[in-house]
Structure formats: structure tokens, C-alpha cells
């Protein structure tokens, strides 16, 4: 799990088991939408707005909670996620390098 210690991991797993997969996937979608709304409001306002940092922190926390539960419920291998993250970061850095060489 990501951004959590062992105690929180156990608590999240207990919550995930209690509510089960379909409900937690739906909740994950809800939390992603709420995070998206905070970010869209940021862009629409041309930058930060009153309460932005607190709102962003709350929605990031909710989203991370749900991502961790979905990883657990779906049995996704954390090593596979780490490898995918590394691949995507390296690919983007290569794109940036190629963009810079064009200029």
C-alpha cells in the first residue's frame, strides 16, 4: 500500500473487506471525481483560492485511501505498480529530453 504504515494498512483492509469490491470501486470513482473538481476549480480560478490547500489535502487523502483499498481488493501487485510508475516516469523524462533537443 502507498503512503500508509502497517497499522493503517490493516485498518484499510478491514474497511475494504467490510464494504466489498463493487461498493469500494464506486466510492473510489466518487473520490476521484471530487479530486478532479478541486483541481478544475483551481484552474478555473486562475490559481489558488481560499481553502484550496485544505480542500486539496482532504481529497488527496480520500483518493489515496480508496486507491489502497482497490489495490488490496483487486490483488494488484505493488511491485507491478512500482515498475509501471518507474517505466512511465522514465518514458516521460525521455520525451522531455527529446523535446529539449528539438529547440
Residue-wise pLDDT for 19-34, tens only, equals 999 999 999 999 999 9
Contacts with 15 (C-beta within 8 Å, 6 or more apart), sequence order: 69
The dihedral formed by the CA atoms of 10, 16, 21 and 23, expressed in degrees to the nearest 10 = -160
pLDDT per position as a tens digit, 50-90:
999 999 999 999 999 999 999 999 999 999 999 999 999 99
- 72-95: string of b/e by CB count within 10 Å (b at 16+)? bbeeeeeeeeeeeeeeeeeeeeee
Q: pTM for the full model? A: 0.88
Domain boundaries, the chain: 6-76
Taking the C-alpha atoms of residue 86 and residue 99, their distance in angstroms, rounded to an integer, is: 20
Q: What is the C-alpha separation between 98 and 93, in angstroms, rounded?
A: 9
Amino acid at each position: 500500500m502507498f503512503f500508509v504504515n502497517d497499522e493503517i494498512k490493516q485498518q484499510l483492509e478491514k474497511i475494504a473487506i467490510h464494504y466489498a469490491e463493487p461498493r469500494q470501486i464506486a466510492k473510489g470513482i466518487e473520490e476521484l471525481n471530487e479530486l478532479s473538481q478541486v483541481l478544475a476549480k483551481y484552474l478555473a480560478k486562475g490559481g489558488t483560492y481560499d481553502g484550496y490547500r485544505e480542500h486539496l489535502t482532504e481529497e488527496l487523502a480520500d483518493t489515496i485511501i480508496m486507491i489502497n483499498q482497490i489495490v488490496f481488493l483487486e490483488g494488484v501487485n505493488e511491485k507491478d505498480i512500482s515498475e509501471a510508475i518507474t517505466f512511465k516516469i522514465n518514458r516521460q523524462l525521455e520525451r522531455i529530453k527529446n523535446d529539449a533537443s528539438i529547440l
